[in-house]
Structure 1
Amino acid sequence: MRSSCMIACITLLILCSSPANGQLSSTFYDKTCPKALSTVKAAVKAAVAKEKRMGASLVRLHFHDCFVNGCDGSILLDDSANITGEKTAGPNANSARGFDVIDTIKAQVESVCSGVVSCADILTIAARDSIVELGGQTWTVKLGRRDARAASLSGANSKIPGPASSLSALITAFSNQGLSTKDMVALSGAHTIGQARCTTFRTHIYNETNINTAFATSVKANCPSTGGDNNLSPLDVQTPIAFDNNYYKNLQSQKGLLHSDQELFNTGGSTNSLVTSYATNQNTFFRDFATAMVNMANIKPLTGTSGEVRKNCRKPN
C-alpha cells in the first residue's frame, strides 16, 4: 500500500513538472530535437545576411502573432475554405513579411526532426536570433508552444496597436495582454530597426507638432502628401539596421517616425523617464527588452495537448 502511494506521488510530481503539461521550458527540445535551436539560428543568420531588414520583419511577425490570441503561430496561416487568416488584417496587409523565411526555417527543422517543433516556437526563436544578428544581446527562450488550428482576422484588426495610437491606447493594448507599461516602452525599442510605410506616418509628419521640423522635412522627400503610400523610411534614421538605443535618443529629439513612437516622449508624459533611462544606458534597455520579449512570448501559449504541431506553417495538418 505504501509502495503504491509512493508511486502515485512520484507520478503526480512528474506530471506537474512536465513541460508537456503546460509549462514552457528552455530545455523542451533537448531530447526530442537537439538540433532545433542551432538549425533556426543558422537559417536566421543566412536570411539577415541576405537582407538586414528581414531581422526586423521576423521580430514583427512574432509580435503580431502573440497579440492575437497568444503566441500560437496563427499569423502564419493562409486563407482557405475553412480559415480566414490574419494576413489581410489592417496591421498586416502589405506590411507583414518574412513568411517565406519561416517556411524555409520550418523545412530545415523538419529535415532534422519531423513533426516536433511548432511554428509558434520557430517564430519565438527566430525573433531572438534576429535581434542578436543585428547587434542586440541574447536571452534564453522558453519553448513548448503548440500551433493554433485557426486564426482571428477580427483579433488582428482590434488587438494590435496602430501607428496612430495615443499613449493611453498603447498602455491599454499592452495591459490587455498582461504586459506592463515598462514592457511596452522596452518592446517599442524594436523600432530601432526596420522601416515603415509612408501611409503609417504621413499624418505625423504633415499635420502634427510633436515632431522636429527639420526631421519632418527630410522624411517628406520620400513621403509626399498624396501618393507613395508604400514608400519606406527607416524607423531609426541614425542606425536603421543596428539594434541599439538610438530609437530612444531620437524620441528625445522629437524624431520619432510614427505618432505612436513620439507618444512615448512628450511634455509631461508618464513614460518619459523610461525613454530617458534607455537613451542614457543601452545595457539597461537591452536587459529590459529581453525581459519584455520573454513576457510577450508567454502570452497564452497553447501547450500540452492543445493545438497541434503543424508540418506546414501555412495550414493545419
Structure 2
Amino acid sequence: MAREAGVSLATIDRVLNGRPGVRPATIERVNAVVERMGYVRDTSAANLARQRRYTFAILLPEARSQFVESIRAALREAYASQLADRVLLRVVSVPAQDPHAIVRALRALDPKALDGIALMVPESPQVRDQVARIKQSGLPVVALASDLPNSPRDYFVGIDNVKAGRTAALLMGKFLRRDGEILVVTNSIRARDSLERRLGFDAVMQSDFPLHAVLPTVESFDDPARMEDVVFGQLIRRPRLVGIYSMGAGNQQVLNALRRSARAAEVSVIVHELTPPTRAGLLSGEIDAVIAQNAGHLVRGTLRVLRSLSDGLPIFEPQERIRIEIVTRENLP
C-alpha cells in the first residue's frame, strides 16, 4: 500500500489512524489507494498495537430483581472474557425510581475517562437532558433492556417490548379458562419496557379477546411487600379475576400471593424473564408461560455496540437483534 501511494509506512500509519502531520493532498492520495485496494482496517489489531483500553460505565437499578441480577452475572462473565480485548467495566447502581439520583450518578462520571455508557434506567425529562449533555461531550450512550427513545442515545440493545406485550396477550388469551378480569402488574409503568409491553398487550386483548376486562396497571415501586399485598388483595376481592400479566420485577411476590389465596389453579399467569422463581413456577404449573430474553446476549451485544461506536465502526445489526423467547414447562432449557 505504501509503495502504491508513494509514501512511507509511517505516513500510512498516520493516515489510517487519523493522526496529524500529513498534508491534505497526501491523505487524499492514501485514501484513494485504500479504497482501490479494498483495505479493511483491523481495529482489534490496531487497538492491541496501541495498547488501547476501552472503559465503559454500566448503570443498573439497585433494587433487588432476579433479572437485574442475571444482567450483573452476565456482566461478570463477559468482563472475564473481554479482559483479553482490553475492556474495563465500571458498574454503577442507581435507585431507578429517583431520576435526580440517576442524574447525579451520571454527572459523577468523567467523560474523559470513559469510552461509552450503557443505561438500564427509566426515561424521564431529567435523564433525557443528562443524556444530551453526555452526547455533547462525544461519548456514546446505549440503552440496555429498557429503551430511552426520546433521548439522543445512540442505540438500544433489547427485545421489541411492544411485540413482547403482544405475545403475552396472545398467550394469555389462549390460556384463559373462562371470561373475566386480567390483572397487570409491574415495578413502574414509567420504565419504557413496561410501558411498551402494556401498549402491545392492550392492543391484542382489545382486538382478539374483547370479552376480557384488562384492569389498570398496579405498580410496586421497588417494594416487594407492596406487590404481594396488592396482588393478594386483588385475588381475594375479585372473584372474576382469571389472569395475571407480570410485566417486570416482582414475580416471586406474585407467586406468593397466588399461594396465599389458594387460587393458583384457576388463574392463568404470564410473566417476563426466566429466573429461579419463574422456573419453579413453570415446573409447579403456577406459571403458564415465560417471555424471556437472553441476558448474556444483551450484555455481549451492549459491549460490542459500545466498542463499535467508540471506534466509529458500523454496528452489525443482525448480530445484535435480541430474540423474544417463549418458555413453557415442556421446553425449559
- TM > 0.5 between the two? no
**Larger Rg over CA atoms:** 2
TM-score by length of 2: 0.31
Name the structure with the higher strand share: 2
Higher relative contact order (CA 8 A, sep 6+): 1
- TM-score when scaled to structure 1? 0.32
